[in-house]
Amino acid sequence: MAKKFSKEHEWLEIDGDVATVGITDHAQQALGDIVYVELPEIGKKLSKDGDAAVVESVKAASDVYAPVDGEVVEANEELDANPALVNESPENDGWFFKIKLSDASQLDDLMDEAGYKAFVEGLED
């Protein structure tokens, strides 16, 4: 499975034509303690860079954007009961939703892990 990253700090793990989406470790650290996550409904069609979810922390509420076009096929219901999973395991158990890709070529616009690491390091300068 390939992993990609957006400049808005979402990660995607691609398995066939479905991508699992969440926020990066960098993003959850910047937000602080997550207290609520609003997930997209299953079947909802998302557009690249459009609003997909909302995450609320003790610091602020932030939108989570869809990194690609597609249809939501699953949402992580465990986040309803335990939004802290995003802090504990942002790039594994704290995933937000799964999206069926409608245009796999959009993955080419995203960064690989090394590219994202360099991008984040550039933000900290």
Tell me: the pLDDT tens digits for 19-68?
999 999 999 999 999 999 999 999 999 999 999 999 999 988 999 999 99
- Could you tell me if residue 120 is inside a domain? no
In the predicted model, what is the mean pLDDT of residues 66-84?
A: 97
- Could you tell me if residue 124 is inside a domain? no
Does this model's pTM top 0.85? My answer is: yes
Q: Is the dihedral of CA 57, 60, 63, 64 positive or negative?
A: negative
- Could you tell me if residue 114 is inside a domain? no
Quote the tokens at residue 101. 């890709």
Residue type, 46: L
What pLDDT shows up at residue 2? 87
Q: What is the span of the domain harbouring residue 23?
A: 2-101
Question: Where does the pLDDT of residue 124 fall: very low under 50, low under 70, confident under 90, or very high at 90 and above?
Answer: confident
Q: Percentage of the chain with pLDDT > 70? A: 99
If one counts the domains in the chain, the total is 1
- The domain that contains 47 carries what CATH number? 2.40.50.100
- Could you tell me if residue 116 is inside a domain? no
pLDDT digit string, tens, across residues 2-33: 899 999 999 999 999 999 999 999 999 999 99
- Could you tell me if residue 115 is inside a domain? no
- Could you tell me if residue 112 is inside a domain? no
Whole-number Å distance between alpha carbons of 119 and 60: 23
In the predicted model, what is the mean pLDDT of residues 101-110?
A: 95
Residue type, 17: D
